[in-house]
Chain A
Amino acid sequence: MFHREAGVYKTSYAADMALYPLPIARWAVAALAGLFIVIAPLTLGEYYISILNLILIACVGALGLNILVGYTGQISIGHGAFMSVGAYTAANLVTHLHAPFWITIPAGGMMAALIGAVVGIPSLRIKGIYLAIATLAAQLIIEWTINHVPAISGGVQASIQVPRPTLFGAPLKTQTQLYLFLMAFVVLAVVGTSNLIRSRIGRAFIAIRDQDIAAEIIGINIFRYKLWAFAISSFYAGVTGVLYTYYLGIANYEQFQLTVSIDYLAMVIIGGLGSILGSILGAIFVTLLPILTRWFLEDYGWLFFSQGDLLNAIPNLRLILFGGLIIFFLVVEPEGLNRLWRNIRNYFRVWPFSY
Chain B
Amino acid sequence: MPDFEWQFTLVLLTNGVMIGLMYALIALGFVLIYKATDAINFAQGEFVMFAGFIAAGAADISGAPFWVAAALAIAGMVALGFGLERIVLRPLIGRPVIAVVMATIGLAAVLRGVATMAFGAGTRAIVIPVSDEPFQFGPVMLPPVQLVGAGVSLVFLAAFTWFFLKSRIGIAMRAVADSQQVAMAMGINVRRYFALAWAMAGIVSALGGIVWGGMLGVDNQLALVGLKVFPVVILGGLDSILGAVVGGLIVGIVENFAAGYFDPYVGGGTKDFAPYVLMILVLMLRPEGMFGRRRIERV
Residues of chain A at the chain B interface (Cβ within 8 Å): 69, 73, 75, 122, 124-130, 132-134, 136-138, 140-141, 144, 147-148, 212-213, 216, 222, 262, 265-266, 269, 273, 312-313, 315-320, 322-327, 330-331, 334
Asked if B269 and A212 make an inter-chain contact with CB atoms under 8 angstroms apart, the answer reads no
User: For A127, what are the chain B residues with a Cβ–Cβ distance below 8 Å?
Assistant: 296-297, 299
A-B pair number, CB within 8 angstroms? 136
Partner of A313, one of B101, B108, B117, B296: B117
Please indicate the chain B residues that have their CB under 8 angstroms from the CB of A73 in the complex: 96, 98
Q: Which of B102, B231, B283 makes the CB contact (< 8 A) with A126?
A: B283
CB of A265 within 8 A of CB of B102, answer yes
**Contacts A322-B106, A323-B108, A330-B92; A132 near B296 (Cβ below 8 A):** no
Within the assembled complex, what's the spacing in Å between the Cα atoms of A132 and B283? Answer: 11
Contact of B97 among A75, A141, A317, A325 (CB under 8 A): A75
| Distance from B160 Cβ to chain A, minimum over Cβ atoms (Å) | 21
Chain B CB within 10 Å, residue with most, of A313, A315, A323 = A323
Q: What CA separation (Å) do A213 and B231 show in the bound complex? A: 29
Q: For this complex, into which size category does the number of interface residues on chain B fall?
A: 35 or more
Pairwise interchain contact A222-B280, C-beta atoms closer than 8 A:
no
| Residue of B whose beta carbon sits closest to that of A150 | B267
Complex CA–CA separation, A331 to B108 (angstroms):
16
CB atoms of A137 and B110 under 8 A apart: no
> B109 to A326, Cβ gap below 8 A?
yes
CB-based contact A140/B272 at 8 Å: yes
Complex alpha-carbon distance, A313 and B107, angstroms? 18
B135 contacts partner chain A, Cβ-Cβ < 8 Å: no
- Nearest-neighbour CB distance to chain A for B264, whole angstroms, equals 13
* B101 and A323 contacting across the interface, CB-CB below 8 Å: no
Interface of A is mostly: helix
A-B contact pairs, 22 of them (CB 8 A): A122-B280, A122-B283, A125-B296, A132-B101, A133-B230, A137-B279, A140-B276, A144-B272, A148-B266, A266-B102, A312-B116, A318-B113, A322-B106, A323-B111, A324-B106, A326-B103, A326-B105, A327-B88, A330-B92, A330-B95, A330-B103, A330-B106
CB distance from A137 to the nearest CB of B (A): 4
**Contact of B113 with A331 in the complex, beta carbons under 8 Å:** no
Q: How far is the CB of B158 from chain A (nearest CB, A)?
A: 27
Given contacts A316-B113, A316-B116, contact A126 B273 (CB under 8 A): no
> Is the Cβ of B103 less than 8 Å from the Cβ of A140?
no
Q: Is the Cβ of B117 less than 8 Å from the Cβ of A312? A: yes
- Is B40's CB under 8 angstroms from A129's CB? yes
User: Hey, which chain B residues are within 8 Å of A315, CB to CB?
Assistant: 113
Nearest chain B CB to A123 CB, angstrom units: 10
